[in-house]
Amino acid sequence: MHTFTPPPATYYDPPVSAPLSVVDPVSDGATVGVVTDQGVRDAGLVTTVTDGTEVATVYDDVESNPSLETAAAAADALADVDVAVAVGGGSVMDTAKAACARPAFGSVAAIRSTPADETPPAPDAATPCVCVPTTAGTGTETGHWAVLSDHDAGEKVSVGHPVLKPAAAVLDPGLTASLPPGLTAMTGFDVITHAVEAFVSTDASPLTDPLAVAAFEAALDALPNAVDGDERARDRMLTASYNAGLAMNNAGLGAVHAISHAVGGRYDTPHGLTNAALLPAVVDANRRGSERARRRYAALAERAGLPGGELSDRLRRLLERPPLDTSTLPRLDGVDDDLVAWALDNVNMTTNPAALQPADVRRICRIAFGRGDR
């Protein structure tokens, strides 16, 4: 059986003036706290989003690949607010989601250790979280997962519990207009990766397939123009990110994200760029290891109208386009046993279509990050 968890109430293209006034948890005069990062704040996007809304506090100290400690610090900053508004990319939104959930669990560590089907000690104490993405990539505004870095262990952990689901999502395509080409390309490849992994996941279903296909098709078509700054293409990427996020939340992901979280936790690499380097190598490994994966990749390529049903070559061609530059990633000619074990133990590996072995993970890393042929 497959279950489908719907996204939160979603507001697309809100009014320019006082956009939050139309959003349920905010419009009743609640005390509002903002979670963001310094780059987003400097770009003026917090001012744009909170136009007409009184803001009691702003926490702007979220780093890329945010840590468990950052989520705790954000929760401290939000202690006296009624509603939190996350304005930023995946790092900001994941931090805010975990921070808002902390009062229900007592600590960030308790969120991590509480099974999804177990009610936390104070479920009503969670702060409603409104997610306003400023990048088209993560899709985390649609669901209850947050990815945080555990610096003690040197790995990224996926923290998931229904309490983390945002109260609302606000999709304003204008907010992505100022994103530089490099970040647009990296985050856009995260969208493509979510769509591909959700489609071939062992938990994919007729409920998630149309979302994954729509996101994949739109992102393949729109990403190059979005990188060049085309407004309509950036709009399409934001919707693709949302659809891919919804597919991912309900179908799960796969080996790209499992290995990406292990590598990103160790080397602090950008998530989208790490995925971009890994995706073609994982597609090839899964095709070698699973008949079902071969069929699903072919079906995705066919439904997306790729000539000859080929997928890997198309992805590689997209990878070669500037400004995506995977040569900036650390060179990993050999990976140690810990990194391999983290990748294989990562929750995303449980829905990968092929049962990858340590030798497969090493080979994928060598192709994606080694000095040899990519």
Binding site for Fe ion (CB under 5 A): 190
- Cβ at position 197, least distance to Fe ion in Å: 8
Lookup result for tokens 């950008």:
270
- Cβ at position 203, least distance to Fe ion in Å: 16
In one-letter notation, the amino acid at residue 178 is: S
Here the tokens at position 43 are 């770009």
Residue 69, SS3? helix
Q: What are the strands of the beta sheet with 129-133, ordered from one edge?
A: 9-12, 168-171, 129-133, 83-88, 32-35, 55-59
CA distance 132 to 23: 11
Q: Which residue is nearest to Fe ion (CB)?
A: 190
Instruction: Compute the CA torsion angle 344, 349, 352, 358 (nearest 10 deg).
Output: 0
φ, ψ of residue 9 in degrees (nearest 5) = -50, 130
Q: Smaller CB distance to Fe ion: residue 172 or 190?
A: 190
Strand-pair partners of 131 = 86, 169
- Cβ at position 159, least distance to Fe ion in Å: 14
Q: Smaller CB distance to Fe ion: residue 32 or 259?
A: 259
- Cβ at position 76, least distance to Fe ion in Å: 27
- DSSP string computed for 1-44: ----PPPPEEEES--SSSGGGGSHHHHTT--EEEE-BHHHHHTT
Q: Smaller CB distance to Fe ion: residue 34 or 220?
A: 220
- The answer to whether 35 touches 71, Cβ cutoff 8 Å, is no
Q: Smaller CB distance to Fe ion: residue 26 or 164?
A: 164
- Cβ at position 271, least distance to Fe ion in Å: 6
Neighbours of 73 (CB within 10 A): 18
- Cβ at position 166, least distance to Fe ion in Å: 17
Q: Smaller CB distance to Fe ion: residue 8 or 264?
A: 264
Residue 171, SS3? strand
- Cβ at position 193, least distance to Fe ion in Å: 6
Helices (H), 201-270: 209-227, 231-251, 255-267
Q: Smaller CB distance to Fe ion: residue 94 or 190?
A: 190
Q: Smaller CB distance to Fe ion: residue 120 or 156?
A: 156
- Cβ at position 256, least distance to Fe ion in Å: 8
Neighbours of 111 (CB within 10 A): 25
CA distance 274 to 21: 38
Q: Smaller CB distance to Fe ion: residue 190 or 360?
A: 190
